[in-house]
Amino acid sequence: MRLVFRHTLGNIAQRKLSFMVSALIIGFGIFLCLAVATFLFNFHQLFEQTLKHPSGIAFLSVDSAEKVQKVASQMMDLPSVQKIDFLSPKQAASYLAGAGVPAALLEDPDLSMPWMVMVYGGFDQVAAQKETFRKVSSIEGVDEVVYLGDDVMRLKNMFNIGAFAAALAAILVSVLTLFVVSAFVRLSISSRLPEIEIMRLVGATEKLIVTPFLLEGLLLGMLGSAVGFLLLRLCQSFAVTHFAQAELLPLEFLLPSFAAVLCLAVGSAYGSFRSH
């Protein structure tokens, strides 16, 4: 086996330029696929955090905690309302400041900060939620209602589009890997046809003949995966440095991806040999 491996490395050395170009093409394809997956992973984390936020906010025109409690109890009787939190004017100002409202606006002496009620009801049933918030707006003491479900649904639609793009990228990378490995192995077979014929004449087994080509496919897949992983790590390091919330792809996702690439590379090499 050691002799076969050394023989394989020698054959690769003879076509090192085509081998390196093939590995770079595979690596760049893997990088694009993993880059899309990384974006989706972080987008999904953001979406999960968004689902924990209130589905709507009610601004009240009442001036006491007792009246707020009365309004809140009426809200809890509505369908699809799971939980409510009410904020005093001071707490509401702090919440809005944390949400990005300019401090100059909040500190305006002419601005009277109202009581706020945060309504939690989930985002899975948009039509029911809209009807619920229509009823909330009709409760006595409610001045204005802001429904946030539409924005969340837009995020969900964007995630679904991204997931489709990721699946398409994975298919394209698979096809690219099969094509590049197949082309490289076919080129290798064509240049070594006399050697293969001599091996068959002297009684070499099919396993002994095909093993070097399988090793070439395996090494090509390994080098391409390493290039893709290196590019991904460089970009992820940049993202983590400049975007504090960016997270790295977990190993339980990366390892199966690289294993799939290696299986595709070896399978493509074997298929090319059998069809030649």
Return the pLDDT at 242: 66
β-partners of residue 120 are 83
**Given a cut of 60, is residue 51 above it in pLDDT?**
yes
pTM above 0.85, yes or no: no
What's the CA angle centered on 88, arms 72 and 104, to 5 degrees?
Answer: 135
pLDDT band at residue 144 using 50, 70 and 90 as cut-offs = confident
Distances (CA, A) of 9 to 1, 161, 202: 12, 43, 23
Interatomic CA distance for residues 201 and 209, integer angstroms = 12
pLDDT tens-digit profile of 152-196?
777 778 888 888 887 888 888 888 888 888 888 788 778 777 777
Q: Which CATH number belongs to the domain containing residue 124 in this structure?
A: 3.30.70.2190
* 152 falls within a domain: no
Verify that 60 and 43 share a domain, yes or no: no
Helix (H) or strand (E) holding 105: helix 103-106
Q: How far is 262 from 265, CA to CA, in rounded Å? A: 5
Rounded CA separation 31/35 (Å) = 6
Answer yes or no: is 31 within a domain. yes
Q: With respect to residue 269, please indicate whether it lies within any of the assigned structural domains.
A: yes
Residue at 112 is within a domain: yes
Residues 22 and 126 reside in one and the same domain: no
Cα(232)–Cα(249) distance, integer angstroms? 10
Tally of domains within the chain: 2
Within this chain, do residues 194 and 214 fall inside the same structural domain, yes or no? yes
Give yes or no: residues 85 and 179 share one domain: no
pLDDT tens sequence across 202-256: 777 777 778 888 888 888 888 888 888 888 888 877 776 766 566 667 777 777 8
Average pLDDT, the chain: 78
| Same structural domain, 137 and 179 | no
Q: 154 lies in a domain?
A: no
User: Domain span at residue 243?
Assistant: 2-49+161-275
